[in-house]
Amino acid sequence: MKVGIPQTLIYYRYGKIFKKFLENIGIKVILSPKTNKKILNDSLKIAPSEVCLPIKLYFGHINAIKNKVDYLLLPRIVQEGESKYPCPRIKNITDIVNNMMENMPNTLEPVIDRNNTLEEALRKLGKTFTENKEKIEQAIQVSIKKEENKINFKKDKPTIAILSHPYHLHDEFLNGMLFKLLKNYNISIITNEQIPQKNKHKPLKKCFGHQNRKF
């Protein structure tokens, strides 16, 4: 049994968790390649013209693996907490893909919203492949365990803070290998993901999308 995960967009927020979870219940996971020129060109041909580039790339990544797997994992991110809504395109990306792409395999569409936490989404996903509840719960605990991400200030060199969405921060094709470039100039980097929640100011209310309010 092979499950494919597009290595773009939602992947950098939840994909690694879903990947670890599926592997821990015995499912083979196939990731699409990292973003490259071919995926970009395919994306521009397949995706609707009016959407932004990160959304377009989702189509190219799916196209790269859809014929190599039994299932595609396409999470539905509806709401991530109280008044925490994603961009409308991300919220509806699964429906857009299902209606525009041909010859799709079966899809797994776990929902994360106000009534379905990440843990509950993983639990329901696990029941698709096994009836072993203990195995599912153990896999959930392993997959959602947070890694410590400390800020290391170095007094002997300049530090630059980079604030962006995860799919920009972690996709070298999208960010133009910015991190490698800065490190070559001996510059330290801090991202918004490394800032402890307790040190963040209260998000602005009059700004669409909770990620934008955080910035």
Q: Domains of the chain, with CATH numbers?
A: 2-143 (3.40.50), 159-214 (no CATH)
Question: CA separation (Å) from 183 to 4, 57, 164?
Answer: 33, 26, 18
Q: Does the structure show a pLDDT above 60 at 133?
A: yes
Query: At 55, which helix (H) or strand (E)?
Result: helix 53-65
Q: State the pTM of this model.
A: 0.85
Q: Give the CA count within 13 Å in the CB-facing half-sphere of 20.
A: 14
- Spatial distance between the Cα atoms of 123 and 119, rounded to a whole number of angstroms: 6
**Helices 15-24 & 133-143 angle (0-180, nearest 10):** 140
Between 198 and 40, the more confident residue is: 40
**Residues facing 76 on adjacent strands:** 111
- Residue-wise pLDDT for 82-95, tens only, equals 667 778 888 888 99
- Residue-wise pLDDT for 166-195, tens only, equals 888 889 998 999 989 998 988 888 888 777
Q: Does the structure show a pLDDT above 60 at 208?
A: no
